[in-house]
Structure 1
């Protein structure tokens, strides 16, 4: 099967965010059995320089440098999702059309949701969009945390714009996939006639595995791309509302924030006692495993969090909000602790730091669960099955 894959960013290196990780791990496995031709955007000269490392997995790679986001120019722009301004270029549309002619693909595979506008390039070709996360759920979670009437009204406008976008563009595809059931249910409600499937994220349980790195009993850690709004909100809330409560009981405890491109708001957190912002770390395993507790105080967002899967795989005790554990087999008091208020979150962290044997017990169950249910091989197999079925269905219709 020939697949023309169109992505919003180079799916490499997999250390640069969840979107790159998901597409790299899934597409490189599908490429073992099918012929994949990739069309994508470079976001930097680093991306361009890394393309040869990625190209060995695919039949071909074509890319354009992504232009900077265009500003809103009209009042109407304020009532639309910003996807047009982020990823649309006439040059990309023409490149995709050229590849359609040159490759003659059996299937078009598009990801993520803000590349949906390029559907017109695939006239007559069965098309699949890997939406990944529900925009409606993401917008709703942000709306719930509005700090002012102005923020709330903006949130309402954005939520309505997202729902309009999803209703309009996703049904133009023959099928779609999302990482979690809650996200799939949201899209199915908006697009009842669209074939919706769940293809969860995975984790490399051999790479992310428990080691003999000595744990520091008074160290907490959070990882993520640190210019991503939900991650910024998570560490800001934790540092200002939760961490001071923890330090009252455990004064020597420290908090490590690890992740590339920390925003100014995140960098400023280092001024707080006990907080260290590390930025990008080539291999985060040692830093995570030196912590006695992995904290995931996520309040915004949708989908499933790779950071939770990785911490589970490494056997590090976890305290998360319900939002942080969404879409993952992660039950309170079974795989870790789930707390949604600042006070209860702080108490849970103190509990695990003070009683390490409890954390170790939870972590063992979590490691077992992630090994059984969240491999990238399984995720790639699910996606491959979706695309193969789409091709078969289209062939039946053609007959």
Structure 2
């Protein structure tokens, strides 16, 4: 049986945020092809202590707590001339763990998940690089909205990170992104391996809706992540005053700016035991992202739950939805699409059913990850 080294910037269990959903299913898929040896970071104490669960898919697993804060990482990055993104994930314990794993055996394949982990492999090592999203482009977009020193910092990050991404891609046997749009933006020999969705888990028949009076508009996501913060703040200010109902912001670690939105018409849940109950209760699910890269799991999850979705152009860009979601270009479009769906439950229901059918036909994880075996030579 093959031995596969899997490096991930966050431990791929539990699959409770977008990047961990993809890495979790990659881990599961790789485990059908060989013995997986995992090395990953935990940047949340709740991501520790899952050794028994990981044994379902991994022959061995090393999980290193990541304790370096953003301020320290920024200081180190400025002193060393490196991107902050890499410095934040530069850890002596991980370096030692990867060195030990490489010394213990010869691997038939190495899969690197997220660019931060490529720094741990020797220069002569061959591997498959899954960047997921093009992070340098994300920071370039941040720079456009920033001012003063922060704008300089974001531009620096974009420039240094792009140089690093190019060096890594030149070393890799294959360079992967989550969507064709991301792969095309990077260019060269980059390929798309898209996200999937577990339609058995995200099934409206599998869970009861939460008991909330409607109409209910729902957004889900990691709520200390800047694009999600910007999205809900924009929605509350620009869209919510012009549509009926309440807006539920569902997701863990809400930032202070998100908590401040809570009020008579805005629910901020924080972490919930099961996000499916909130999605099931939604009259409309929205994804009003102003900045998005790759495929938005939050949109696929709502589609699989047969809910009508209204998404911004960038949130919908990576998804082959075939018209089964509504796409809004601006606040006026969001108001119009949401209002029409709330006023016409039959159309909303039909749209949700079409969305679920689309996810079943197009986005099963096994089908999406099938190319990995060939790319890894397994």
* TM-score normalised by L of structure 1: 0.87
State which drifts further: 64-73 or 259-268: 64-73
Deviations 1:238-282 (A, max 9, x none): 111111122xxx2xx1011111111111111104x3000001112
Specify the SS of the correspondent of 1:49.
coil
Q: Provide the rounded CA distance (Å) in 2 between the counterparts of 1:173 and 1:97.
A: 18
Deviations 1:341-386 (A, max 9, x none): 1122112111111111222222222111111111111123222232
Specify the SS of the correspondent of 1:270.
coil
Tell me what 2:190 maps to.
Answer: 196
Question: Within the alignment, does 1:222 sit opposite 2:211 as a pair?
Answer: no
Indicate conservation of the 8 Å contact 1:166/1:187, yes or no: no
Question: Within the alignment, does 1:263 sit opposite 2:265 as a pair?
Answer: no
RMSD: 2.2
Indicate conservation of the 8 Å contact 1:137/1:301, yes or no: no
Shift of 1:172: 2.1
Tell me what 1:397 maps to.
Answer: none
Tell me what 1:3 maps to.
Answer: 4
1:328/1:128 CA distance change after superposition, 3 Å: same
Q: Provide the rounded CA distance (Å) in 2 between the counterparts of 1:132 and 1:281.
A: 26
Indicate conservation of the 8 Å contact 1:109/1:127, yes or no: yes
Indicate conservation of the 8 Å contact 2:246/2:266, yes or no: yes
1:150-165 matches, cutoff 5 A: 152-165=151-164
Tell me what 2:292 maps to.
Answer: 301
Indicate conservation of the 8 Å contact 1:221/1:293, yes or no: yes
Tell me what 1:396 maps to.
Answer: none
Tell me what 2:180 maps to.
Answer: 181
Specify the SS of the correspondent of 1:160.
helix
Question: Within the alignment, does 1:343 sit opposite 2:344 as a pair?
Answer: no
Deviations 1:297-342 (A, max 9, x none): 01113111001001011110011101111211125xx212111211
Shift of 1:153: 4.6
Deviations 1:182-239 (A, max 9, x none): 1111222xxx3xx422111111111112338579651100001111111111111111
Shift of 1:119: 2.5
Q: Provide the rounded CA distance (Å) in 2 between the counterparts of 1:301 and 1:77.
A: 30
Specify the SS of the correspondent of 2:285.
strand
Specify the SS of the correspondent of 1:2.
strand
Q: Provide the rounded CA distance (Å) in 2 between the counterparts of 1:101 and 1:147.
A: 44
Pick one of 203, 206, 209 that aligns with 2:200: 206
Shift of 1:150: 5.8
Indicate conservation of the 8 Å contact 2:127/2:174, yes or no: yes
Deviations 1:100-142 (A, max 9, x none): 121321121111111121221x74x421111100123323443
Question: Within the alignment, does 1:367 sit opposite 2:367 as a pair?
Answer: no
Q: Provide the rounded CA distance (Å) in 1 between the counterparts of 2:106 and 2:141.
A: 41
Pick one of 318, 330, 337 that aligns with 1:327: 318
Structure 2 portions without partners, runs of 5+: none
**How many equivalent pairs are there?**
372
Structure 1 portions without partners, runs of 5+: 392-399
Tell me what 2:93 maps to.
Answer: 91
Q: Provide the rounded CA distance (Å) in 1 between the counterparts of 2:369 and 2:126.
A: 19
